[in-house]
């Protein structure tokens, strides 16, 4: 059976479809196969190892069956980086999530403990996390999720779907656990994504007024700097997302600790304005100027 699959001369997309069908058949008939796990992993390799995850021009039409649900145990048990990447590729084909992957979040988080990440596995894991989203991931615990994200060290260039990650980070960082555990790297990443991809947000993300206060209370000034830029883009006073009083109080605390923060915020706002052909909110310069003057008066 496997020999016929290897020898089959056909277009790559068709080969992938056939290999994936074999995966279902192998799982369905595993009790009668001497080495069904070996056959399964070989079929996945034949079907997906040669494909580029970023190539959306030749996406196979996969038919998912109930028997494909049974692949996860064998694949993750193998602890093989490329084999796990094969499965993630099959279940995120064409940037469309096959639902069972959402049930594998515990396994995905545990990968950082025992599997050296190939570049392909890293790419597909980043794609999977974005597709699963915060609601699907929060059950693993924020500290463990933050550990995985730090291990991946995601950049804008790593993302297949930017708006999924923008929504994901917005939702994570507005939880108390997310604000505490996620490193400064991801606050910077959120600020960058907000500048570039705000218009692609899939849905409105509710503003949490506690985040600025909690960051200031914890003296997380570098995170607060990033968050202020994000807030002014997404929820400026002009859009009734936040009051000028709240912004003024937080920006004053920030400027007292980081006098150079205004220059960085100004650069972010100007880049966002140019990228999106929008005017910088009037409140930005007014509130920042007031805070700068107050900070100077407070300086001995």
Measured at the alpha carbon of residue 146, what is the angle toward residues 249 and 178, in degrees to the nearest 5? Answer: 30
Is 262 a member of any domain?
A: yes
Q: In whole angstroms, how far apart are CA 287 and each of 178, 222, 265, 281?
A: 28, 19, 12, 10
- Reported as a single tens digit per residue, the pLDDT across 80-130 is 999 999 999 999 998 899 999 999 999 999 999 888 899 999 999 999 999
- Check pLDDT > 60 for residue 5: no
Is 191 a member of any domain?
A: no
> How many distinct structural domains can be found in the chain?
1
Specify whether the CB–CB gap between 111 and 151 falls below 8 A. no
Average pLDDT over residues 246-274: 93
Is 36 a member of any domain?
A: no
The confidence score (pLDDT) of residue 151 equals 94
Closest by CA position to 182, among listed 170, 164, 200, 196: 170
Per the listing, tokens 């291990």 go with 151
Is 62 a member of any domain?
A: no
Specify whether the CB–CB gap between 237 and 243 falls below 8 A. yes
- Reported as a single tens digit per residue, the pLDDT across 51-67 is 988 888 778 889 999 99
- Check pLDDT > 50 for residue 251: yes
Residues 6+ apart with CB under 8 A from 106: 140
- Reported as a single tens digit per residue, the pLDDT across 205-250 is 888 889 998 999 999 999 999 999 999 998 888 877 688 888 899 9
Is 103 a member of any domain?
A: no
Report the distance separating Cα 125 and Cα 27, nearest Å.
Answer: 24
Is 265 a member of any domain?
A: yes
What's the chain's average pLDDT? 89
Which structural domain range is residue 272 located in?
207-300
Is 297 a member of any domain?
A: yes
Report the distance separating Cα 32 and Cα 54, nearest Å.
Answer: 37
């Amino acid at each position: 059976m496997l020999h016929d699959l290897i020898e089959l001369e056909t277009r790559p997309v068709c080969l992938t479809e056939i290999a994936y069908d074999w995966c279902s058949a192998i799982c369905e008939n595993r009790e009668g196969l001497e080495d069904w796990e070996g056959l399964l992993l070989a079929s996945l390799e034949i079907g997906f190892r040669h494909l580029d995850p970023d190539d959306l021009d030749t996406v196979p039409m996969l038919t998912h069956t109930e028997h494909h649900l049974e692949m996860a145990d064998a694949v993750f048990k193998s602890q093989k980086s490329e084999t796990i990447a094969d499965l993630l590729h099959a279940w995120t084909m064409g940037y469309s999530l096959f639902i069972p992957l959402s049930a594998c979040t515990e396994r995905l988080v545990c990968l950082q403990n025992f599997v050296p990440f190939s570049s392909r596995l890293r790419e597909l894991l980043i794609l999977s996390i974005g597709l699963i989203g915060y609601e699907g991931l929060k059950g693993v615990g924020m500290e463990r999720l933050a550990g995985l994200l730090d291990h991946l060290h995601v950049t804008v260039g790593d993302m297949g779907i930017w708006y999924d990650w923008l929504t994901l980070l917005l939702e994570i960082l507005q939880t108390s656990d997310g604000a505490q555990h996620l490193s400064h790297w991801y606050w910077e990443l959120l600020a960058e994504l907000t500048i570039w991809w705000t218009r692609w947000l899939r849905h409105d993300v509710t503003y949490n007024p506690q985040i600025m206060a909690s960051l200031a209370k914890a003296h997380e000034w570098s995170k607060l700097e990033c968050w202020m830029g994000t807030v002014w883009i997404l929820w400026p006073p002009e859009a009734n997302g936040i009051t000028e009083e709240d912004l003024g109080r937080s920006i004053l605390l920030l400027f007292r600790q980081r006098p150079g923060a205004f220059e960085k915020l100004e650069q972010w706002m100007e880049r966002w304005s140019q990228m999106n052909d929008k005017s910088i909110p009037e409140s930005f310069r007014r509130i920042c100027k007031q805070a700068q003057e107050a900070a100077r008066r407070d300086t001995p």
